[in-house]
């Protein structure tokens, strides 16, 4: 691969993987606001 393509690919992959992981982990770690009356029946 040429250097430019490699830089673009690695940058795009890194940003997308980081943002996906960041938001998903934040969802897992954020406690429910009011577990008894929230939108989710299992919590």
Partner 1 sequence: MSNKESWGSRVGLVLAMAGNAVGLGNFLRFPVQAVQNGGGAFILPYLICFLLMGIPLLYVEWAMGRFGGKTSHHSTPFILNSMDKRPMWKYIGVFGIFTNVAVAAYYCYLESWTLSYVYHSIVGSFSNFNQAEVAGFFESYTDLHTSTTGIPYENIVFWIICLLLNTWILSKGLSGGVEKTAKIGMPLLILFGIFLAYKGITLKAGENNAVFDGTVGLNYLWTPDYSSIWNFKVWLAAAGQIFFTLSLGMGSIHCYASYIKSKDDIALNSQSAGWMNEFVEVVLGSSILIPIAVGYLGIDTVLEMTQNGGLGLGFKTLPYLFQQWGPTMAVIAGVMWFGLLFFAGITSSLAMGTPWMGFLEDEFNWKREKAAWSFGLVVLILGLPTVMFYKEGVFDEYDYWAGTVSLVVFAFFEIILFSWIFGIDRGWKEINESADIKVPIAYKFIIKFVTPVFLGMVLFGSMPDIWKTITHANDKQEIVYLNDTRLISKDGIAMRSKLPAEWSDSFIFHSNVMMNESLTKDQKNQILGLRAFSNKYEKYMTPEIAVVEAPKRIKELEERMFYKNLSRPFLILIFLLIAWMVYIAHNKRKKKHQHSI
Q: Given the rule CB under 8 A, which residues bind partner 1?
A: 1-2, 4-6, 8-9, 12-13, 16-17, 19-20, 23-24, 26-28, 30, 32-34, 37-43
Dig out the tokens for 2 from the structure.
């040429």
Within 8 A by CB and 6+ apart from 18, the residues are none
Cβ 35 to partner 1, closest distance in Å? 11
In angstroms, what is the minimal distance from the CB of 38 to partner 1? 5
Smallest separation (angstroms) from partner 1 to the CB of 27? 5
């Amino acid at each position: 691969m040429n250097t430019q393509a490699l830089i673009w690919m690695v940058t795009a992959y890194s940003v997308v993987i980081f943002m996906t992981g960041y938001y998903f982990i934040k969802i897992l770690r954020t406690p429910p606001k009011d577990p008894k009356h929230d939108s989710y029946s299992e919590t």
